[in-house]
């Protein structure tokens, strides 16, 4: 392991605030389609030039490809000017049986020469961080998230992994710790431990649906847990002004009820001259506990456009109308 990839304690009190808009780097791990190294660098450079300074990755994304590409890019930037997070819970191990195939079962167009191995133990989490540091070549991560614990063993995630993650933070090895998940019940169970700084809520608090609103967000407010909202477009459904029936939704097809509601929301947005994706990007930050929105993108123009949408003016009357028509909760 290189010198730059050992776990290094950071000074207490140096945690930088999360920027309100971040880039989720699954796409540079070849999510859905393959990018060349140059194309991936172009996407990251476009994000940087547009002012994005928070970058989120994970070993899961492209079997480490996202971490390698993001690390190579960030090493060209001043370390004090960005915030970077990765995730723990899955280790990457050799997969001889995957030779000659791609990781398409997980939607990544990368060789399946590695496999994901769950390990929620304290030693497993520490190994995960060390290996992510090795892949990125960075000296530390500002934020560490436990990734999708409910997909393996939620009880172990709550009782073993969350305390172990908090111990890494308390030892000064990262600034903040959290849990990232698409499951509202798992997010709630982890938040209720009182040990976390952040929750990454993926797809559960969006313009299309808000299952995290009833229970998860009140606990976050009460405990002072910051919320990072990811999958703000619900995997693509909210990414266009005219929602498409064949759009991706949670990596699958769109339920009829959700699609009809989104069509009505799009009509209201159109009446106010507001882009549906702009409303989707800005809606989560109306909640007091939300500190950042993380959005993906596989092309430079998508990144530039999303930054413009994030800053576009939206009248309060739009939100009031959506509430009045029963399309958003109060």
Contact 138/71 with Cβ under 8 angstroms?
yes
CA atoms within 13 A on the CB side of 302: 17
| Angle, alpha carbons 126-59-296 (nearest 5°) | 130
Give the whole-angstrom CA distance, residue 171 versus residue 169.
5
Give the whole-angstrom CA distance, residue 254 versus residue 312.
27
Q: Name the phi and psi angles at 291, rounded to 5.
A: -110, -20
Check the CA dihedral 107-108-109-112 and report its sign: negative
Give the whole-angstrom CA distance, residue 278 versus residue 270.
11
Give the whole-angstrom CA distance, residue 59 versus residue 94.
14
Tokens of 35: 């990018």
Give the whole-angstrom CA distance, residue 144 versus residue 127.
13
Give the whole-angstrom CA distance, residue 51 versus residue 48.
5
Query: Residues with catalytic annotation?
Result: 61
Contact 84/19 with Cβ under 8 angstroms?
no
Tokens of 275: 């882009």
């Amino acid at each position: 392991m290189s010198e730059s990839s050992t776990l290094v304690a950071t000074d207490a009190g140096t945690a930088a605030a999360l920027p309100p808009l971040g880039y989720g780097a699954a796409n540079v791990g070849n999510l859905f389609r393959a990018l060349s190294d140059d194309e991936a660098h172009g996407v990251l450079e476009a994000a940087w030039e547009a002012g994005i300074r928070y970058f989120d990755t994970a070993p899961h994304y492209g079997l480490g490809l996202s971490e390698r590409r993001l690390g190579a890019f960030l090493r060209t930037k001043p370390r004090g000017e960005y915030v970077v997070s990765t995730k723990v819970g899955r280790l990457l191990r050799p997969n001889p049986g995957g030779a000659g195939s791609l990781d398409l079962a997980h939607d990544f167009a990368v060789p399946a020469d590695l496999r994901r191995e769950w390990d929620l133990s304290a030693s497993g989490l520490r190994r995960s961080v060390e290996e992510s540091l090795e892949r990125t070549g960075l000296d530390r991560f500002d934020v560490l998230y436990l990734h999708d614990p409910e997909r393996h063993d939620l009880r172990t995630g709550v009782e073993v992994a969350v305390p172990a993650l908090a111990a890494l933070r308390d030892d000064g090895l990262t600034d903040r710790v959290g849990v990232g998940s698409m499951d509202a019940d798992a997010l709630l169970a982890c938040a209720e431990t009182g040990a976390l700084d952040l929750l990454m809520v993926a797809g559960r608090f969006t313009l299309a649906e808000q299952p995290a609103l009833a229970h998860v967000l009140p606990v976050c407010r009460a405990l002072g847990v910051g919320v990072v909202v990811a999958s703000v477009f619900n995997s693509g459904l909210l990414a266009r002004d005219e929602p498409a029936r064949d759009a991706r939704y949670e990596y699958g097809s769109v339920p009829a009820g959700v699609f009809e509601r989104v069509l009505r929301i799009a009509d209201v947005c159109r009446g106010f001259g507001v882009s549906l994706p702009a409303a989707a990007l800005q809606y989560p930050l109306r909640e007091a506990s939300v500190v950042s929105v993380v959005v993906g993108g596989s092309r430079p123009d998508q990144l530039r456009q999303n930054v413009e949408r994030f800053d576009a003016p939206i009248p309060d009357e739009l939100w009031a109308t959506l509430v009045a028509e029963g399309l958003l909760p109060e």
